[in-house]
Amino acid sequence: MLSIGKRVAMCVKHGQDRDTLTIAAMLLLAFSLFIAVCVFLLIHCSKRETKKNLPPGSFGWPFIGETLVYLRSLRDGTPERFVSERMKTYGSPLVFKTSLLGERMVIFCGPEGNKFLFGNENKLVASWWPGAIRTLFGKCLNTSRGEEAKWLRKMMLSYLGPDALSNRYTATMDIVTRRHIHTHWKGRSEVKVFDMVKPYLFELTCLLFLSLDDPKNFAELGILFNIFLKGLGEIPISIPGTRFYKAKKAANAIKKKLVVIIKQRKLAMEQEQKPSSFEDLLSHLLVSSDENGQFLSEMEIANNVLLLLFSGHDTSAVSITLLMKSLGEHPQVYENVLKEQLSILEAKAPNELLNWEDIQKMRYSWNVICEVMRLTPPVAGAFREALVDFEYAGYTIPKGWKIIWSASISHKEEDNFPNATAFDPSRFEGAGPTPFAFVPFGGGPRMCLGKELARVQILVFLHNIVTQFKWDLLIPDEKIEYDPLATPVKGLPIRLHPHTI
């Protein structure tokens, strides 16, 4: 506003023509009207909302709300701090209101909130994502609602569910994992775990989903993907130099490359005179139609593949990294995992690949992984949007408000996890935790489609790495930050000790 006023003064002082002066005055008037409208809307909305029994809480500063405080808790690796401090301040253990990312929001706390939201999907609430995520991913499963989302989930579940995984993937994962460890881990005394597993899982996911096996393709897509990821948690302002601007360019470049791959696959499938020799997810997306016979467009397929490449490798890379950190911190747990994995290895013929039955035997190992995800969920939580006004815990949640369910706070509740900060895999023995208390993959109709895929990925890698190496953490107290996923800030450097067994 001040710069526009100076512009007007300069126009008068230097005698610039009347048109320029008029334009400057119009800009000043438009800016003033914009501010006035914003103030009016804020007052109007506030008056309308005061008639409702809203949850306790504060909207923080105008426009930015409590976004900066929330982002600081993510960068500090303690997203539960933002929630727990407000639960205590407002005396509300179930729900409170805030303002984040320019939106009026309520945060649902604990298993009760998780159960309510997951049980009312597409009734009272629906999936919602911040502007950066919607823009970067485009139209895909993550941003779809209603019947379209149901169809997409059903189609992908037929390829990613337990039944499909029992017949695919496990042996292929084992082959790729053995090759990766032999090439990149053996003969080295020190490695950075996250820097190692991230490209390995990206290569594996590209192979499983797209049948890509060209190292050049992996390298080019991998570089773009890392830029893309850094924009997911940003404010969607497309100004050159910002992380979001760079991420948007990277997302577009990835999609262009994917469209080329899609066109090549379509041509190859059209030229075949026999059933498709491709049995990957890309071919599945190309030949699947909805109940009206409609197929996904090439760009819609590219958007969904981008989403699946993200969910199929990045969260698993984080989970493997945090798993190796925890095993380095707890030697007895490592020994127990090693014992279980050696028993599986010893029951197999030399060089025999892992199969689905072997994965089911890794019960203790999976309990350890669950405890890792409990203490540090790869994703802090997720968003919903209120489809109608509804009541929860005695308060009104207005239509259009956004909602966060928090895995981080649910996983740290002492009522459900006594001595919650202690590492204890036995929590997951027997019936396990209270329903809806442990939610690293979400729940209800929107539960993560890649849950089983991630389980197999992590267990196959764990089997191969733990039966070949022990390791020491070079930075024992390395900080974890969410950017946007939980990641050790130095990449988890470790010193390797090959087994002599």
Taking only the tens place, the pLDDT of each residue in 367-387 is: 999 999 999 999 999 999 999
3-state secondary structure of 494: strand
pLDDT at 470: 97
Q: Which residues in the chain show pLDDT less than 70? A: 1-51, 167, 273-278, 501
Per the structure, the count of domains in the chain is 1
Of 308, 322, 494, 345, nearest to 423 (Cα)? 322
pLDDT at 8: 42
CATH number of 202's domain: 1.10.630.10
pLDDT at 152: 79
In this structure, is residue 55 part of a structural domain?
Answer: no
Burial status of residue 477 (CB atoms within 10 A of its CB: 0-12, 13-18, 19 or more)? exposed
In this structure, is residue 52 part of a structural domain?
Answer: no
pTM for the model stands at 0.86
pLDDT at 1: 42
In this structure, is residue 3 part of a structural domain?
Answer: no
In this structure, is residue 139 part of a structural domain?
Answer: yes
As beta bridge partners, residue 497 has 470
In sequence order, what are the residues at sequence separation of 6 or more whose Cβ sits closer than 8 angstroms to the Cβ of residue 366? 428, 455, 459
pLDDT at 273: 57
CA 267 to chain centre: 33
Label the pairing between strands 103-108 and 402-406. Answer: parallel
In this structure, is residue 58 part of a structural domain?
Answer: no
Integer distance in angstroms from the first to the last C-alpha of the chain? 73
pLDDT digits (tens, 9 = 90+) for 141-167: 777 777 777 887 887 877 777 777 776
In sequence order, what are the residues at sequence separation of 6 or more whose Cβ sits closer than 8 angstroms to the Cβ of residue 331? none
Residue 229 CA to residue 484 CA, distance in Å, equals 8
Domain span including residue 281: 67-498
As beta bridge partners, residue 404 has 107, 383
Residue 106 CA to residue 404 CA, distance in Å, equals 6
In this structure, is residue 47 part of a structural domain?
Answer: no
In this structure, is residue 442 part of a structural domain?
Answer: yes
In this structure, is residue 439 part of a structural domain?
Answer: yes
In sequence order, what are the residues at sequence separation of 6 or more whose Cβ sits closer than 8 angstroms to the Cβ of residue 266? 286
